[in-house]
Amino acid sequence: MLSVLSSRKEGFLFYFVLHDGDLAFGGGLTEDRLLVCDSACTQKELMLRTLVNKCMNDFVPEVFAFDTWGVDLNRFGFERAGERFRAFWETLRLPHDCGD
C-alpha cells in the first residue's frame, strides 16, 4: 500500500514521507526552494506530484528541481535554467493523461 504523509525535517520548508509497503522514502522543499527526493524512492512521480501540489496550494513563488525525477519536468511547468529546472507558482501544474 502506498501513502504519502506530511512530516518535519530540519532544513526543509515542508517534508513528506512516502511509504511503499515496508519501505519509506523522504522528499520535500529545501530552504533553498529545491524539490528533492531520496534517490532510491520507488514512486518518484507520486512524490513529485505531492510536492508540486503542496507548492501550488501554498503559493510558493518559485521552485527548482534537478533532472533526477525520472519524468519530463516540463509537463509540470518547469523550464531548464542552467543545470537545474525552475518553475514559478503561475506555471506549476499537475499533468494528467486522460486525453483532455
Bridge-partner residues for 30, per DSSP?
A: 12
What is the tens place of the pLDDT at every residue in 28-59?
A: 999 999 999 999 999 999 999 999 999 999 99
What is the Cα–Cα distance from 1 to 93, expressed in whole angstroms? 26
Q: What mean pLDDT is predicted for residues 75-98?
A: 95
**CA 21 distance to own-chain centroid:** 20
DSSP string, 48-91: HHHHHHHHHHTT-SEEEE-S-SSS-GGGGT-EEETTEEEEETTT
Over the stretch 54-81, which tens digit does the pLDDT of each residue have?
A: 999 999 999 999 999 999 999 999 999 9
The whole-number average pLDDT for the span 78-87 is 97
Residue 20's pLDDT is 96
